[in-house]
A = this chain, B = another copy of it.
Amino acid sequence: MDDSSEYLALPPGSGAILSLIASGAGQSRASLAQAAGLSRSTIAERLAPLFAAGFVEEGAEALSSGGRPARILRLNKNFGVTLAADVGESHIHLAVTDLEPNILVENVVSLDVRSGPETILARIVDEFCDLLDRVGRTKREVLGIGLGMPAPVDYEAARVFGPSVMLGWDDFDIRGWMRAHFEAHVLVENDVNLMTLSEFRRFWPDVGQFLFIKAGTGIGSGIITDGRIYRGAQGAAGDIGHIQFASDNAPLCRCGKLGCVEARAGGWALARDLRAQGFTAHNARDIINLVRINQPEAIQLVRAAGRVLGEVTADVVSVLNPAVIVIGGVLSEAEEHLLSGVRELVYQRSLPLATRKLQIAAARSNPSVGLLLGAAQLVIESQMAPATIDRTIARYRRPAIPRPLESLTDSPRSRSD
């Protein structure tokens, strides 16, 4: 037994502990024991190889609750990386992230989504390789790949659905294609769900029923219940942009129906209305630029959009009774101009029991960064889940560091005193 090149065989059960640490269910050895239903001795026994293999680190901070503070355990954010890409209608935004996740390096390329899946995926693969080189990481270190798509996605099958903007993508086997080029797990998710996940984990982690509404050029929503994305039966949940309201002169939506929320309050619809008044505007960003310079017509349109959004939000509140609603997307940069209408309609229309403690807030994260972090988060959570953790550990087994335990106990941790 030479311990310089020997691969460390992690004892069975360590995976479950790592999974708990990754999910945040256990921050200290004591809370891990409670969460796992195991004794302190067993936790200690299982942590040792996780430290030795470099999966787990000790945080310097320590929250005291009266006595000796617990030593915070956390995932070693550098034992692997994720690849994240946001496929937009005209641009692709890509990044390499660590496992916290933080963006290590990113890039934006111009490419029309209608170029078709093979062209776009090939470009994504190229860019990923490039970005990996730039941060000096290898394909072997890639925990998984997360792709965000501006369309309904069947999450299990990792396929885009419906003949939307994504011409040629319908039912295309994205996972199969990617795995021919990367030996990593490939997850595909709707872009709104990724923004939802990111906003939720960073700012509202303990909220049971969370609703995120994206008001951008298009309109959509994401739902999180009990900490998990609610996808519905086919992954089509949260599709509020194409709920229809009756009215005189119901506008034609780009989906072909009349009077959809998006055709009344989406960025493209507001741009349409501004153009009719002689302005130059094509998308949500153009609207916001006009709002920023206090253009009254733009502000008025955004406020009207807020009320339309409020109408549909009130319906969703009646159905879901969320504890928190966050409005994101480019239009949400108009802050109160948009939110006041939402608040007005929700409080007017929904049951007092449902609105009494309801919070309605603007998103705090940058949409594009949030989306990439959401994609990374999804990859991390899926690969660190109890069902997959053992496979993940097996892939990342490293040569054992000689005498890791002694070195750890000799100099417990760096401190500032």
The interface of chain A, by Cβ under 8 A from chain B, is 152, 154, 161-162, 208-209, 221, 223, 225, 230-240, 242-247, 257, 314-316, 318-323, 349, 351-354, 356-358
Do B239 and A319 have beta carbons less than 8 Å apart? yes
Do B320 and A319 have beta carbons less than 8 Å apart? yes
A246 to B223, CA, bound (A): 26
Do B352 and A321 have beta carbons less than 8 Å apart? no
How far in angstroms is the closest Cβ of chain B from A259? 10
What are the residues of chain B within 8 A of A245 when measuring CB–CB? 245-246
Number of copies: 2
Do B257 and A349 have beta carbons less than 8 Å apart? yes
What are the residues of chain B within 8 A of A239 when measuring CB–CB? 318-319, 321, 351, 354
A236 to B209, CA, bound (A): 12
Do B247 and A232 have beta carbons less than 8 Å apart? no
Do A319 and B237 have beta carbons less than 8 Å apart? yes
What are the residues of chain B within 8 A of A162 when measuring CB–CB? 351-353
How far in angstroms is the closest Cβ of chain B from A341? 15
How far in angstroms is the closest Cβ of chain B from A328? 17
Do B209 and A244 have beta carbons less than 8 Å apart? no
Do B237 and A321 have beta carbons less than 8 Å apart? yes
A243 to B318, CA, bound (A): 7
The 8 closest A-B pairs by CB, nearest first: A232-B321, A233-B323, A236-B354, A237-B321, A236-B321, A161-B353, A209-B233, A236-B353
Do B235 and A321 have beta carbons less than 8 Å apart? yes
Do B315 and A234 have beta carbons less than 8 Å apart? no
Do A321 and B234 have beta carbons less than 8 Å apart? yes
User: Which residue, A152, A243, A349, has most C-beta atoms of chain B within 10 A?
Assistant: A243
- Between A and B, 11 residue pairs with Cβ closer than 8 Å are A152-B353, A154-B353, A162-B351, A208-B233, A225-B225, A233-B323, A233-B357, A236-B351, A239-B321, A242-B318, A243-B314
With contacts A209-B233, A351-B162, A353-B234 taken as known, whether A319 is within 8 angstroms of B319 at the C-beta atoms is yes
Do A232 and B351 have beta carbons less than 8 Å apart? no
A242 to B349, CA, bound (A): 8
Nearest B residue to A255 via CB reads B351
Among B209, B231, B240, B349, contact of A232 (Cβ-Cβ < 8 Å): B209
